[in-house]
Amino acid sequence: MAVVLSLAGAACSKKTATATVDLKTDDQKTLYALGLVMSDNLATFNLSEPELDYVKAGLTDGALKHTRQVDMAVYGPKLRELAQARASAGAAVEKASGSEFLSKAALEKGAVKTATGFVYQEITPGKGATPTQSDTVKVHYKGSLVDGTVFDSSIARGEPVVFSLAQVIPCWSQGVQMMKAGGKARLVCPPELAYGDRGAPPQIKPGSTLVFEVELLDIVKK
């Protein structure tokens, strides 16, 4: 499923250091995968290695039914407060870098900043019809963060995506309506027209500006 619809694709990580663990059996590898899945739920906290040690301690005590060292009636609410604070701080950082990136993108040759705030840049002009909000389209696309990390790509999967323009993020819906079938364009989407302050962790952090290269293959007939 496309990231613009459900964000099922996995982002590429720039961190190369890995934990020291010997994965030999399928069960060991499956349990390691469980840890990766659980880590997705921690993305908002942006934990340091020392902080992660405390999380590991809590996980160990909880999983092995050891005595809990804190009162969850007290620290459950504090956990939510910490999540909100970390998310807000992270979003502010992402918004600052994203705003700078978007401003520079708007100055590139052929780029246009729209009234709603995203940048549209035609790469290859199309010769077909232009879709409307109610249309279903077939596209190929690549989605990237402002640092160049690719978080989703129908091109890499080798399969175009079909969706209604009424069911995608505003930047996509508005941007594709500026294209003609057969054309290709670059969309630089501010968070307000993408995933906002909630983001789509772990692939997309709160407040992220996103870059999409979109090829409009066809307008699907009803």
Query: Which residues participate in catalysis according to the annotation?
Result: 141, 151-152, 169, 195, 212
Provide the pairing of β-strand 184-189 with 210-220: antiparallel
**Inter-residue contact 210 to 170 (CB < 8 Å):** no
Q: Where are the beta strands (DSSP E) in the chain?
A: 111-113, 119-124, 136-145, 150-153, 161-164, 184-189, 210-220
**Inter-residue contact 141 to 169 (CB < 8 Å):** no
**Inter-residue contact 209 to 190 (CB < 8 Å):** yes
